[in-house]
């Protein structure tokens, strides 16, 4: 009964060993990968652990207040170094161990040659409501 | 439409169906359908006997479902042999539902969802809103839970400790939306206490009442946390405190101490103090010793260290903390507090900032970061 955000990155996460970019896979391998992700989400819906999942377009833009009466400033000095979030899934599970287990399972999605891609996922606890008891 | 009446009647109607031999999962479905029917029809045709009405409609739905299910022919035969719906006895044995909904084979989140619906009479939508998850997720938890307990017999007494743990989980979850989970947990525990004679049920009820009584004082109007010592004690609910203390005293008098009674005793000592300075910390430390002996829980020892810091001074508190695992939740925050009380402001400021980084709720994080900012400002102005 704690929510976790699983973040997938386009950029910013460490590169897994033996990484092959998706555009070098065969179409069948791409299909298998997508099907794995779908099945994973469907399974979480069945177990009652699914909260939300969304993919994000790659073209992220940094935005900043530009000053009184001026347009917003876009992008910054770090256009080439910024993280890019590819998408997220939010789960609601009974324990942190379960969250780790699910993230690892998602990271095992098949890639080139049907091998698990072992992609690094970021797992972040979602801040909760204050509990009724503190003292 | 009296929603609270439906909430009270739901478990009673469900137990009647189960007692008549309906499988729990099928009975639950039938009761939900009867509730939908009631919401639709009662505004125009209020029944004279709401419970009898619900039982009749739910039983009819159950029979319809059983008949429609040809694959369950044998069960249908069994149902047909049952005596028809007679007068509804005024007996309430929804106690069994508590044990079923908190069955050890269920995961905590499933047990909570099933308890809130079958015993609490909440709708799936209300439960989903309270836990900030999609309605479909709660629906799945409930249907999985029903499948898990479908073969469980209801004629044996269950484990009270499991039921209490589930109710305490509900209570601790805080609240959101239109369902106050703490108030709901109190309502269910009160019902349980009326049906079962067990000192720990009273202990849990007392604990919930005492914590709940102080809830209004725990947050400022802007939603920020107010620490116990700074709370406006006139905002505490004195009636709930008096009730909690009375329930606790009756439980303690039976001399079968348990974890919840010991926790309630600590909460009662806080609630009894007219000002923070008058808190009986020596007695609180003694109760923490009892509690540590009962549970061997590291979080209890952490709280005990903070109490030692109040009873015997911050240095004693820090010494007690040093003996504990530094990765425990709130360990850093407690150290920060005791260092501040000991007069070591630079260390306290640094620890508050570090504790803020590990906080699990926004209110707690904001509170700790404010503490760090307050001390750093003091240090800058002082230096």
- Are B134 and A135 inside 8 Å of each other by CB? no
Q: What is the pLDDT of residues B150-202, one digit of tens each?
A: 878 766 667 899 999 999 999 988 765 678 899 999 999 999 999 889 999 99
Q: Is the ipTM of this complex over 0.90?
A: no
Comparing B70-74, B313-317, B342-346, which segment has the lowest mean pLDDT?
B70-74
Report yes or no: B9 and B121 within 8 Å, Cβ to Cβ.
yes
Q: What is the pTM of this model?
A: 0.86
Nearest Cβ partner for B361 among A3, A94, A128: A128
pLDDT of residue B90: 47
Phi, psi at B223, each rounded to 5°: 90, -5
- Are A48 and B140 inside 8 Å of each other by CB? yes
Enumerate residues 52 to 71 of chain A having a beta carbon within 8 A of any beta carbon in chain B.
Answer: 52
Residues 6 or more apart whose Cβ sits within 8 Å of residue B353: B368, B369, B372
To the nearest whole Å, the CA of B174 is away from the closest chain A CA by 5
Nearest Cβ partner for A129 among B134, B270, B361: B361
Give percent above pLDDT 70 in chain B. Answer: 91
């Amino acid at each position: 009964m704690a929510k976790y955000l699983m973040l997938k990155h386009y950029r910013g996460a460490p590169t897994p060993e033996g990484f092959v970019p998706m555009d070098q896979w065969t179409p069948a391998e791409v299909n298998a990968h997508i099907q794995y992700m779908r099945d994973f989400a469907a399974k979480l819906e069945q177990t009652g652990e699914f909260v939300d999942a969304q993919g994000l377009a790659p073209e992220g833009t940094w935005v900043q207040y530009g000053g009184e009466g001026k347009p917003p400033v876009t992008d910054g000095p770090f256009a080439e170094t910024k993280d890019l979030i590819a998408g997220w899934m939010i789960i609601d599970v009974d324990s942190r161990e379960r969250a780790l287990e699910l993230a690892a399972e998602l990271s095992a999605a098949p890639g080139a040659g049907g091998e698990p891609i072992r992609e690094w996922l970021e797992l972040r606890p979602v801040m909760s409501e204050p509990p009724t008891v503190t003292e | 439409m009296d929603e609270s009446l439906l909430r009270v009647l739901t478990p009673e109607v469900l137990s009647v169906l189960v007692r008549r031999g309906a499988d729990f999962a099928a009975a639950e479905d039938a009761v939900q359908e009867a509730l939908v029917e009631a919401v639709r029809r009662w505004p125009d045709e209020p029944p004279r006997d709401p419970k009898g009405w619900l039982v009749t409609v739910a039983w009819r739905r159950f029979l319809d479902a059983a008949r429609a299910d040809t694959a369950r022919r044998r069960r249908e035969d069994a149902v047909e042999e049952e005596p028809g719906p007679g007068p509804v006895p005024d007996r309430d044995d929804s106690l069994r539902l508590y044990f079923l909904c908190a069955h050890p084979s269920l995961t905590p989140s499933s047990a909570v969802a099933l308890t809130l619906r079958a015993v609490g009479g909440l709708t799936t939508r209300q439960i989903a809103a309270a836990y900030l998850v999609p309605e479909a997720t709660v629906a799945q938890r409930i249907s999985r839970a029903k499948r898990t307990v479908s073969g469980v017999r209801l004629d044996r007494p269950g484990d009270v400790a499991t039921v209490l743990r589930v109710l305490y989980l509900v209570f601790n979850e805080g609240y959101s939306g239109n369902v106050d989970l703490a108030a709901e947990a109190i309502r269910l525990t009160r019902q349980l206490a009326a049906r079962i004679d067990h000192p720990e049920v009273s202990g849990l009820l007392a604990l919930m009442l005492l914590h709940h009584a102080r809830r209004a004082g725990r947050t400022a109007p802007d939603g920020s946390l107010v620490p116990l010592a700074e709370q406006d004690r006139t905002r505490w609910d004195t009636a709930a405190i008096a009730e909690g203390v009375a329930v606790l005293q009756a439980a303690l008098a039976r001399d079968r101490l348990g974890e919840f009674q010991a926790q309630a005793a600590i909460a009662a000592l806080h609630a009894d103090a007219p000002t923070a300075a008058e808190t009986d910390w020596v007695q609180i430390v003694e109760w923490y010793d009892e509690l540590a002996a009962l549970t061997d829980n590291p979080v209890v020892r952490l709280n005990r260290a903070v109490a030692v810091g109040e009873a015997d001074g911050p240095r004693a508190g820090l010494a007690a903390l040093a003996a504990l695992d530094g990765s425990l939740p709130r360990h850093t925050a407690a150290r920060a507090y005791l260092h501040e009380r000991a007069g070591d402001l630079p260390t306290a400021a640094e620890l508050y900032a570090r504790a803020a980084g590990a906080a699990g709720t926004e209110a707690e994080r904001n509170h700790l970061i404010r503490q760090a900012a307050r001390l750093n400002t003091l240090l800058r102005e002082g230096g």
